Amino acid sequence: MLENYFPVLMFMLVGLGFGVAPVLLGRIVAPYRPDSEKLSPYECGFEAFEDARMKFDVRYYLIAILFILFDLEIAFLFPWATVFQEFIAAGEHAWFVFGSVMVFLAILVIGYIVEWKNGALDWE
């Protein structure tokens, strides 16, 4: 029974080896000669002029969350679009599948309009 899991164990060990071996090889082979220039903070070619722990504007996070939300919408639409043609060809539940996706899109469009009207997408 346990011999059935041996390929899984080997796969995990090889995967772990591929992840750990380059890191260890870099530690062993690469020279480590830090100087003040290498250890200095670097920010787009300029010296850092503020603390790295400064607070970001909340709107930045809101835009990021909205991007992820509408990006996931596309991730749900691609599988639906690939199998919808099969539903039409089979003639089974094609209208139900189409209607359910239209309800999904309507909810997302309403959410997008609400965010737009509330000014969440405005950047001043």
Q: Are 63 and 121 in contact (CB under 8 A)?
A: yes
For the segment 81-97, what is each residue's pLDDT rounded down to a tens digit?
Answer: 888 888 888 877 788 88
DSSP state of 31: -
**Predicted local distance difference test score (pLDDT) of residue 90:** 82
Residue 46's pLDDT is: 62
Is pLDDT of 102 > 80? yes
- What pLDDT shows up at residue 118? 83
pLDDT over 70 at 73, yes or no: yes
DSSP string over 39-103: HS--BTTB---S-TTPPPPHHHHHHHHHHHHHHHHHHHHHHHHHHHHHHHHHTSSHHHHHHHHHH
**pLDDT digits 0-9 by tens, 112-123:** 888 888 877 777
Give me the pLDDT at residue 18, please.
96
CA distance linking residue 85 with residue 98, whole number of Å: 11
- Cβ–Cβ under 8 Å, residues 49 and 42: no
Interacting residues of 98 by C-beta distance below 8 A, sequence separation 6+? 84
Q: Which domains does the chain have, with CATH numbers?
A: 2-117 (1.20.58.1610)
Tens digits of residue pLDDT in 11-53: 999 999 999 999 999 999 988 888 887 777 665 666 666 666 7
Encode 24-51: b = buried (16+ Cβ within 10 Å), e = exposed: eeeeeeeeeeeeeeeeeeeeeeeeeeee
pLDDT of the residue at 44: 63
What is the structure's pLDDT at 93? 79
